Amino acid sequence: MDSQDSNQANAKRMFWERFFIPSDPKESPRPLLVEVERGQRPEVPNKDLRQSIIALKLHPGFDYLLRKLRFQRAFLEAKLRSEHHKEIREVDFLQSGIGWLNWLESQIDFETNKKEAEPVHTVSHEQKLFEEVNRSINALT
C-alpha cells in the first residue's frame, strides 16, 4: 500500500471515528445533523447542464484550478511526511486536508468524465432473432 492509499484510509477512518464511533464505549453514537439552507441543494442536471459540466475539462481556467488542487495535495503530503509534528492534531489536520482534496478531485473526475448514453440501433438479423425467441416464449406461456 503506498502512502497516498494509506493517507486516504487514515482520513476515512478518522472521519468515521469522529462522527459515528463514540469516544466513550458506554456512549452510543449520535448521528451528525447537517442543516442546509433552502436553494442550496444541487439540482438534477438536465442535458444542457450535463454538457456544460463535461465541457469544463476543456477550459484552461478549470485545468489551472485542478493543477492548483493537485499541488496543494502534494504540498500537504510532503509536509506530513517530512516534518516532525509536535502534536497529533497537526497530523489530523494534514490527513484530513489530504482526504478532502482526494474526495474533491474524485468527484470532479466523476462528473466531468460522464458520458451520455447513446441509443444502440439493432441490426436486422438481431431483430429477427429477438422476435423468434419472443414468439417461442409466448408459445410456452
In a domain, 90, yes or no: yes
83 vs 81: CA distance, rounded Å: 6
Give tens-digit pLDDT for 18-58: 655 555 656 666 677 777 787 777 777 788 888 888 888 88
Domain assignment present for residue 131? The answer is: no
Whether residue 9 is contained in a domain is answered as: yes
Domains contained in the chain, number: 1
Instruction: Return the amino acid letter for 50.
Output: R
Q: Structural domain of residue 91, as residue ranges?
A: 1-16+45-117
pLDDT in tens, 50-92: 888 888 888 899 999 999 999 999 999 999 998 888 888 888 9
Is the residue at 34 inside a domain? no
pTM of the model: 0.53
> How far apart are alpha carbons 7 and 30 in whole angstroms?
26
Q: Mention every residue, 6+ apart, whose C-beta is less than 8 A from residue 45.
A: 53
Asked, for residue 67, whether it belongs to a domain, the answer is: yes
Distance CA 111, CA 105 (A): 10
